[in-house]
Chain A
Amino acid sequence: MKNRLNSRKSRLLVVGLFIAVVLIADVVTVAGQGSSSSGSDRTYCVSTGYLYRTTPGVNGGQPICQFSENSWCDANAFATGKCGASTSANGFYNRYGNYYPYFNDYPYSSGYSYPGQTPGTAVDACTSSGGTISSVHTPYGDVDVCKFPNGRTMDLYGLYNGIQGDNWYYYAYNFLNAP
């Protein structure tokens, strides 16, 4: 009886060891894949328009994918869909944990700014009124305005939304929240 119990214990031990070996092998494989996938993590990060960085003191020195403004994700976690620009899709948190929403309803980036795409309504509205688009420098980047034949200027957001007057303030939201 005692021998039988010992024999069972031995079998359990062997099975346990086998499982442990398999698990360790898996972990080693995953770790290996992790290090070799850093190139594709980078490719995924930059091809989606973000900044791939490694900064001592951030994410334990592991690569991060930095989104616009201040938010970021571990680069591998972003590439494997475990985290993402989902936090930045609707806004971001600054270092004090304060939340800033995104507003992406401006037609500029989807129409005029990006090459090869159909010009946005705002641009059409400007040119069809005889206006011309002028790029104007600001310390926060160049912005585009429509200059009408009578010399008046109007931002493209106002044109797009049919709002009379200048709506630079709204433009500012969208500009700062690009891309």
Chain B
Amino acid sequence: MKFNKLLVMLLAILATAAVVSAQEVGVDQLKQMMEKSAGNLTTYTYSRSAESDIRYSNASLKTEFDAYKAIDGKVDLVNKAGTWSSKLTDEESRQVLTWGGYFVNGSEYWKEGQNWTKFTVNDTARIMQDYNEIPGQVNLIMFSDMKIVGSEKFQGQDSYKLVGSPKGSIYDGIVGLQLLAAYFPAPFQLPAKLKNRTLDISSTSLMNNSHIVLTAWVSKDKSLLERLDINSSLTITPKILNISSPDFRIESNINESTVYNNFGSPLKIELPKEAQNTTYRRVGMNWRWAVFGSVRP
């Protein structure tokens, strides 16, 4: 009997220790430390994968648009250099669109397919900001309600695992983006209220028919963001949008995962020789961010 009691007490102590260990820091404190660490980075690499599935149906049709995007990048904040390469695959047609970017010696170069162009750069600091991926992701966590749900080893590092969801305005923004992105490859007409921008998103049930879950892994020793997953889903029907229209249904899911590596390691970012003799570009969007469905391979 005594032995049993002792065992129960021991287990209780162990369980308490595990909880305390998971809560070594408060989430706000961890966020601040993570923000500080992101501001002191020198070099790192990252890999991002994202998958978008959009299903469309109404009384007479059923179709879908599935796309996969993979991005690899290197960032050297000391030498003000960066590079990324991106590949967008239409999973139905298997067509692929590849493109990449280099920022070296104060100049930016893009490779679209096999074609290189040089971008006229006036504000190098701004371009470097674009290449520096981590602060934007850290800010997303900063503007989200997160909870530390435990500790895990991630890539050999003791890490805190955080789960949460973006706060109001950020949440609305992502839902708004996902709503419109879902319409771009749609077989349905864009509703008039979306076309003329009179749809009041707060008068819809979009927030009740969407879910955005963020899962982050942050290293315990240096408070560095090691991985961020974003899982966002949205259902659209005339009833949800509060519009009068023949019935239809759109289900959109996007799952993105970014993994960071090689913090502080020496990086080699060299512009390929074939990029030297290129044509100049004046303006253009960063096709790396081509929205799923709006740019097809």
B259 close to chain A: CB less than 8 A: no
In the complex, are the beta carbons of B184 and A115 less than 8 A apart?
Answer: no
Count of A-B residue pairs with CB < 8 Å: 164
Closest to B173 in A: A168
CA–CA, A99 to B180, complex, Å? Answer: 13
**Chain B residues positioned under 8 Å from A134 (CB to CB):** 139, 142-143
**Chain A residues positioned under 8 Å from B190 (CB to CB):** 98-100
B284 close to chain A: CB less than 8 A: yes
In the complex, are the beta carbons of A52 and B112 less than 8 A apart?
Answer: yes
Instruction: Of the listed stretches A16-24, A25-33, A141-149, name the one at the interface; the rest are far from the partner chain.
Output: A141-149
Which of B169, B180, B287, B289 sits near A145, CB closer than 8 Å?
Answer: B169
Which of B139, B168, B178 sits near A166, CB closer than 8 Å?
Answer: B168
Tell me, rounded to whole Å, the shortest Cβ–Cβ distance linking B107 to chain A. 12
A78 close to chain B: CB less than 8 A: no
CA–CA, A172 to B180, complex, Å? Answer: 8
| Contact residues, B140-181 vs A (CB, 8 A) | 140, 142-143, 168-170, 172-174, 176-181
**Chain B residues positioned under 8 Å from A43 (CB to CB):** 279
Number of chain B residues close to chain A: CB under 8 A: 67
Which residues of A are interface residues toward B (Cβ below 8 A)? 42-43, 46-55, 66, 68-70, 94-96, 98-101, 103, 113-116, 134-143, 145, 153-155, 166, 168-173, 175-176, 178-179
Which residues of B are interface residues toward A (Cβ below 8 A)? 50, 95, 99, 112-113, 115, 117, 121-124, 126-127, 129-130, 133, 135-137, 139-140, 142-143, 168-170, 172-174, 176-181, 183-190, 195, 197, 199, 201, 228, 230, 232, 254, 256, 279-287, 289, 291-292, 294-296
